[in-house]
Amino acid sequence: MHKYANPAKFNELADKILPWAIFLTVSCFLAGLYLIFFEAPDDGEQGVRARIMYVHVPAAYAASATYFSLAVASFVALVWRHPLALIAGRAAAPIGAMFTVLALATGALWGKPTWGTYWEWDGRMTSVLILLFFYIGYMALWRAMEDHEKAGRASSILALVGVVNLPIIKFSVDWWNSLHQPASIFRVDGPKIAPELLTPLFVMLVAYQLYFVVVLLWRMKLEIGARKIEMMRQVAMSEGRRV
């Protein structure tokens, strides 16, 4: 693992992975979109508007999954002080926040015609909104401090505290009476979605995860570059040159 603590080594590896990841991401999205619009049947109860789940469910899943990777990165950063872990966490947060916003927005758009309301303060919706606040808090804390190390440590602690929200999101629909329906896919007795509707959903789940990998690698490379510039500037300033 520490072999890739060297940013140059990491950049090399990322450049090797990226073309493949991009190719797979685009293929998965194209295949998914084709299945959604040309192959999958309507839902019997809701008709065509059930198709919004192909955007909503992968976004909601990716929002939680991204937070989990953010927490793992923060843990590694705090305990082993791995230099790339901080960078990975910082790179992952905006992607996760974007997934969360997408899940909340598509959920609201689906909720109005289906439930009769855009928003209700039930356990699932509220806990996902809190997830968004954790992402925003993490990003804000990073920017609130000048010192990279200090900012990274504070944000990582915040990210770890937010982990408690993940089981709450997952089980909110089982623990409490809620407006949001219980899990359809990841449940003990198997999915509750008919196979012809489930296949496109899985393709989209994979597509979102691949998208995450691509954007994460891009953002990490960007962050490494930004850090390099920052360090060069500091060296130049300490040498008394004007920059």
Return the amino acid letter for 240: G
Return the amino acid letter for 109: L
Considering just the CA atoms, what is the radius of gyration of the chain in Å? Answer: 20
Q: What are phi and psi of 219, to 5 degrees?
A: -65, -35
Instruction: CB nearer to another protein: give 34 or 175.
Output: 175
Structure-block tokens of residue 91? 């790179």
Q: Other C-beta atoms within 10 Å of 86: how many?
A: 25
Instruction: CB nearer to another protein: give 23 or 80.
Output: 80
Instruction: CB nearer to another protein: give 148 or 170.
Output: 170
- Among candidate residues 67, 126, 60, the one with its CA nearest the CA of residue 94: 67
Instruction: CB nearer to another protein: give 23 or 176.
Output: 176
Crossing angle (nearest 10°) for helices 83-114 and 7-34:
20
Q: Interface with another protein by CB under 8 A: which residues?
A: 41-46, 50, 53, 75, 78-80, 113-117, 120-123, 160-161, 163-164, 167-168, 172-179, 181-184, 187, 192-194, 196-198
166: exposed, middle or buried (Cβ count in 10 Å: 0-12, 13-18, 19+)? middle
Instruction: CB nearer to another protein: give 181 or 234.
Output: 181
Q: How far is the CB of 146 from another protein (least distance, A)?
A: 24
Return the amino acid letter for 212: F
Instruction: CB nearer to another protein: give 117 or 234.
Output: 117
Structure-block tokens of residue 196? 């012809």
Separation of CA 59 from chain center: 8
Structure-block tokens of residue 199? 């296949």
Q: How far is the CB of 33 from another protein (least distance, A)?
A: 19
